[in-house]
A = this chain, B = another copy of it.
Amino acid sequence: MNINTQPLSGFMELLPGEQAEFDRLKNLIEQTYNLFGFTSLDTPLIERSEILLAKGSSELDTQIYFVNNGLYAKEPNSIALRFDLTVPLARYVAEHNESLTFPFRRCHIGKVYRGERAQRGRFREFYQCDIDIIGKNKLSVYYDAELPSVIYQVFKRLNIGAFKIKISNRKIFNGLFEQFNITAPFSEVLRIIDKALKVTTEELVEEFTGLGLDNSQIENLLKFMEVRGSVEDVISRLAALNIQNALFEEGLSELKIVIQTLELLGVEKDYYEIDLGIVRGLDYYTGTVYETVLQDSRIGSVCSGGRYDDLASHYTKEKHPGVGISIGLSRLFWQLKEFGLLQNINKTIAQVVIVPNDSTNLPTAISVAAYLRNHSIKTDLLLEDMPIKRKFAYIDKLNVPHAIVVKTVNDTEVLSLQHKESDGSIKKQELTKEEILKQIL
C-alpha cells in the first residue's frame, strides 16, 4: 500500500475537465492543420537509437530515454523514445519515399520525451504539434508563405489572446556577414544586437569591438540594426542598404515573396511583422524563419519554425528541402492554466446528466438517455441508487450544463430540466423529452 501513485516528476497528468479542454485545443489545432491539406501521421514512439543519434552529438542526446526489453537483451539501449517529431519524419520520408507524393504535407501531433532538469512548466513528456511541407530536390518559396497563414488560423481559432507572427530570413544575416567579412560567432553578434534597445550606442560599439569587429563592420551593423517598421518599410529600407551580396539579395527576395503572398492568403496585417532578429536560436533553419509570440508577456513564444535545406540527409541520398512549424502544446496549456486563462472547465464531457429520483423512475431515465444519445447529445446517466442529496451533489460536482431529474408527481412521471443560469441561479422546467432535446441542441 506504500506505492507512490503520483505521476512521475515532469509528466503532466490532467483531471477530466482540464483534459477535455486540452483535447479541445489539440483537436482544434489538428483540424486547422488538416484544413490546409496536411495529412496526419502517427509513427511509433520508439525508434532505433542509431536513428535518434544519427545527427551527431547535441544536448538532446544526453536527454534520451532508452528502452530495454528481453527481446533486445543482446543490444542494451538499442532502442529509445523519440525526442522530437522531426527525426521520425525524416526516417519516414526516407523509408516511404516511393509511396509518398511530393511536395508532401504532413501533420503530426504526438508525445515526445526529453530527460531535462525538472523545472516548473517544463515537461519530460510533452505534446508537439508539427506540420511540415517536404519537397523532393526542390521546394518553392511560396510554401514558406503558407505556413504563417496556418499559424494565423490556428491562433485565431484557439482564441487565447492577441498574437504576432514574426518573420525573418536567415540568408539576410548570412549575406550581411559574408559581405562585411564578419567572422565573429553568429550567436555572439546576435546576442549583442538583441540588447540594442536596452543599452546606449556607445556600449554597443564597445561590445562589438570586444568581439574583434572593426569600425567599418560596426558601422554597417548599426545601419542594418536601424531597419525597423512596417513590413513595407523594412523591405524598402533593406533594399536601400544596397548590399551587393547574392545571399543577402536572395534572402530579401524570398522575404518579399512571403510577405506579398500572405496578403493573397488573407492574413490580416495586424498579425505579422518582420523581425530580423528572430534568427537567433533557430540554428537549424537555412532560409525563412518564424516565431509567434502571444502579447501576454508571461507566455511569450508559442510557435516557431522555418525552412531547412535537407530533412533526411542522415538516412537517404535523396535531397528533401522542407519548411515546418511546431507548437509546444503541453507547455502552452500549462501556462494558460497557471495564469487562469483556461475557459470551459467542466468536470466531464457530457452535455447533460439524467438522474432518476428513485428506482421506479429508472426505466424512464434509461430510455430518455437512449433517446438523447440517438440524437447525438452527450449524455451521462446516474444509475446508482443513493440518497437524493448525494444525487444532487453528483450533478453539482460534474458541473454539467443541463440536468434532467426524472420523478413521479401525483402518480405521473415528469422530466424536470434544470439549467444553471449565468447568475448562478437554477432554472427548472417540466418538459417532454422532445422539448428537452430542442433546448439542449
Contact = CB atoms under 8 A, between A and B. Distances in A.
Contact of A381 (B4, B37, B135, B367): B37
Contact of A69 (B48, B51, B63, B397): B63
Given A39-B19, A44-B13, A347 B101 contact: yes
B54 A65 contact: no
A210 to B, nearest CB: 36
A265 interface: yes
Interface in A97-148: 99-101, 103, 105-106, 111, 113, 115, 124-125, 135, 138-140, 142-143, 146
Contacts of A441: none
Nearest to A138: B384
A383 interface: yes
Contacts of A265: 366-367, 369-370
B264 A367 contact: yes
Interface in A368-400: 369-370, 373-374, 376-385, 394, 397-398
B348 A39 contact: yes
Contacts of A384: 103, 135, 138-140, 143
A31 to B, nearest CB: 9
Interface stretch (A183-191, A225-233, A286-294, A311-319): A311-319
Contact of A46 (B37, B125, B348, B397): B125
Contacts of A343: none
A410 interface: no
A96 interface: yes
Interface string A1-19: 1011111100111111001
A266 interface: yes
Contact of A95 (B5, B64, B94): B5
A50 B4 CA distance: 9
How many copies of this chain are found per oligomer?
A: 2
B91 A379 contact: no
Interface string A319-354: 000000000000000000000000000011110010
Residue picked from A22, A362, A378, A397, most chain B C-beta under 10 Å: A378
A425 interface: no
Contacts of A43: 7, 13
Interface string A34-75: 111111111111111011001000000011111111110000
A37 B378 contact: yes
Contacts of A71: 115, 124
A-side interface size class: 35 or more
A203 interface: no
Contacts of A42: 14, 19, 22-23
A388 to B, nearest CB: 16
Contacts of A367: 264-266
A73 to B, nearest CB: 10
A180 interface: no
A264 B46 contact: no
A34 B385 CA distance: 23
A40 B66 contact: no
A81 interface: yes
A430 B86 CA distance: 41
A75 to B, nearest CB: 12
A253 interface: no
19 contacts: A3-B54, A5-B92, A5-B315, A6-B95, A8-B79, A11-B44, A11-B46, A16-B106, A19-B40, A34-B378, A35-B377, A35-B379, A37-B348, A67-B68, A71-B115, A103-B384, A140-B385, A146-B383, A264-B367
Given A16-B39, A135-B384, 18 more contacts: A3-B314, A4-B51, A5-B92, A6-B95, A13-B95, A14-B42, A35-B377, A37-B350, A37-B380, A39-B349, A44-B125, A62-B70, A66-B68, A67-B67, A101-B397, A143-B384, A264-B363, A264-B370
